[in-house]
Amino acid sequence: MKKIAMVIGILSVLATSANAGYWSHTAYSDLNYMGGATQMFSQEYGVLLKLQQDIKNQIAKGVTSKSDLKPGISLDSVQSPDISKEQYAKEYKNLYNIPDFNPAKVSKADIGGNIEQVQKASKGGIKFLQGKGKSYGYETYELLDTVNPELPNAGMSPSQYYIQMFNKVTGQSIGK
């Protein structure tokens, strides 16, 4: 019962934080052409997914107390951002080979395969979820940690945000 309460508490904090950091782009790719759009979650979402998975893995291995949880990244890897959020936004489309999208100027044939194109350019670091005529993209922690941009809502690097959220969820003060 104690384990269930811990899982529910952790997941509720992560869910609240993930929703607060959500933002979307104009359509980049459309799985159903005129039927939907692709929206991108903020970079914070990928960090929170990693944190959630790291905690779930520890719980599955028998950890039952928040104070016994350990971060899934090394404290030695925590660093300041290498690129500002403004600069990252300017370079984003070029980094991940995202085409311009203007339905008046782009044919259906040109749109097909853009998700695969973006996944290839990001080496699988941008993942897509699909549902109800829309697709949602997010950057994985691994991609974000490699590029190391300033996160748009948190104003810190992915590794700094990971540790901040780890401490918030577990009530610990690691890395301070």
User: Residue 82 pLDDT more than 60?
Assistant: yes
User: Using one digit for the tens of pLDDT, what is the confidence trace for 28-71?
Assistant: 444 444 334 567 788 999 999 999 999 999 999 999 999 999 99
Is residue 108 assigned to a domain?
A: yes
Number of folded domains that form the chain: 1
- At 34 the pLDDT is 38
Contact 136, 30 (CB under 8 A): no
Query: pTM score, two decimals?
Result: 0.77
Task: Please state the rounded mean pLDDT for residues 127-150.
Answer: 86
Residue 136 domain-assigned (yes or no): yes
Does residue 120 sit within a domain? yes
- Establish if 176 belongs to a structural domain: no
User: What pLDDT was estimated at residue 94?
Assistant: 82
Question: Would you say residue 11 lies in a domain?
Answer: yes
What's the CA dihedral at 42, 43, 47, 49 to 10 degrees? 50
> Is there a domain that residue 156 lies in?
yes
In a domain, 175, yes or no: no
Average pLDDT of the residues in 138-143: 93
Domain that holds residue 96: 2-170
**Going edge to edge, which strands form the sheet with 126-131?**
38-40, 134-139, 126-131
